[in-house]
Structure 1
Amino acid sequence: MVMLLANEGDPGEHAVDPGAEGRSDGFRLSNGQDDAYPDEDTVPPAEALRIVRHLLSTGTPPADAARTVDR
């Protein structure tokens, strides 16, 4: 999951894969919370790295990366 937050407490926005179906097996956060997301709310690792590289080099997400704004 790739999330972009403006500041602490911001619901932010996240990258999505609109064609994905199903649900992930989930994962455990460091505070012990178990999280799982619909696969459409995550992106494949190569796409996640592409988005993060673009964010780091330009300060904005790539224009062609699908995302949902949760604000």
Structure 2
Amino acid sequence: MAETWSFDDGTAPVTPDAAVQAIRARIACGRRETWLRSSAGRALALVTNAERAMVTLTDGPGDPGGHAVSPGAGGRSGGFVLENGQDDEYPDADTVPLAEAFRIVRHVLAHGAPPPDAAWAVDR
């Protein structure tokens, strides 16, 4: 059986395009943290400041997994607001532009891994 992905709220599995559309709607409503869980127990998270995003993929609880990166990007960006109200700041090199984040999310949901040409840091 193929791996399926659902939002953390327990809704039915979503297609890659429907997931990205829903994440866009969440961001428009001010919800900047999104978690998707797979039928295999993996987790995909996206936290954004509406311009850049931290995208992480883990194999399950306790796994440090990996995250999307922008090699060579300088500076830091803030405004990554979590559901609990925590407001984080990250080096731009550890985040990606929001359009790239959507491309990565779509690819992970469709193929189980980030796109081969996406810059990715393994945190294990």
Fold match by TM threshold 0.5: yes
Listed one character per residue, the Cα deviations across residues 7-63 of structure 1 (whole Å, up to 9, x for unaligned) are 012111000000211001233322343321100000001111111111111111111
What amino acid is the match of 2:116? Answer: A
1: CA distance between counterparts of 2:105 and 2:81? 22
Q: Does 1:66 align with 2:119?
A: yes
Q: 1:38 aligns with which of 58, 81, 91?
A: 91
Percent identity, aligned pairs only, is 69
CA RMSD of aligned residues (A): 1.2
Is 2:67–2:94's contact at 8 Å kept on the other side of the alignment?
A: yes
TM-score by length of 1: 0.88
Show structure 2 runs of 5+ residues with no match.
1-53
Q: Which runs of 5+ in 1 are unaligned?
A: none
Is the CA contact 2:77–2:91 (under 8 Å) kept in the aligned structure 1? yes
TM value normalised by structure 2: 0.53
Query: Within 1, Cα distance between the matches of 2:97 and 2:78?
Result: 15
Q: Is the 8 A contact 1:3 1:14 kept in 2?
A: yes
* 1:21 equivalent among 74, 81, 99: 74
Count of residue correspondences: 71
Instruction: Please say which structure displays the higher CA radius of gyration.
Output: 2
Q: Give the strand-richer structure, 1 or 2.
A: 2
